[in-house]
Amino acid sequence: MKFRTCLLVILTLLLTAPGILGPASTSPRADPASSTDEPGILTPPAGDHPRINGPRIYGARPGKPFLFRIPATGQRPMTFAASGLPQGLSLDPQTGIISGQVATPGTYSSTLTAENSFGKASREFRIVIGQTLALTPPMGWNSWYIHYHRVSDTVMRQAAEQMIATGMADYGYSYVNIDDCWMVKVNSDDPEIGGLTRDADGRLLSNKRFPDMKAMTDFIHAKGLKAGIYISPGPETCAGYAGSYSHEAQDARTFADWGFDFLKYDWCSYSTKAAGKTVDDYKKPYTQMWNELQKLDRDIVLNLCQYGMGDVWKWGAEVGHCWRTTGDLGLERATSLPGFYSIGFSNATHWNHARPGAWNDPDYILIGWVGDAHKQGEGTATSLTPNEQYSYMSMWSLMASPLIFSGDMARLDPFTLNVLCNHEVIEVNQDPLGRQARITRQTPDQLVLTKELEDGSVAVGLFNLSDKPAQLTVSWADIGISGSQSVRDLWRQKEIGRFERTFTATCGRHGVVFVRLASYSER
Q: At residue 244, what is the residue type?
A: S
Of 336, 305, 307, 334, nearest to 322 by C-alpha is 305
The answer to whether the CB of 142 falls within 8 A of the CB of 364 is yes
The helix or strand, by DSSP H or E, that contains position 423, with its residue range, turns out to be helix 423-429
Residues designated catalytic: 266, 328
Report the alpha-carbon distance of residue 384 to residue 257 in Å, rounded.
41
CA dihedral 44, 53, 390, 428 (to 10 degrees): -130
The answer to whether the CB of 69 falls within 8 A of the CB of 53 is no
The answer to whether the CB of 282 falls within 8 A of the CB of 312 is yes
Report the alpha-carbon distance of residue 425 to residue 442 in Å, rounded.
22
- What is Dmax (Cα atoms) for the chain? 71
Of 275, 187, 182, nearest to 232 by C-alpha is 182
The answer to whether the CB of 319 falls within 8 A of the CB of 313 is no
First and final C-alpha spacing in the chain: 37
- Strand 359-361 to strand 322-324: parallel, antiparallel, or no bridges (unpaired)? parallel
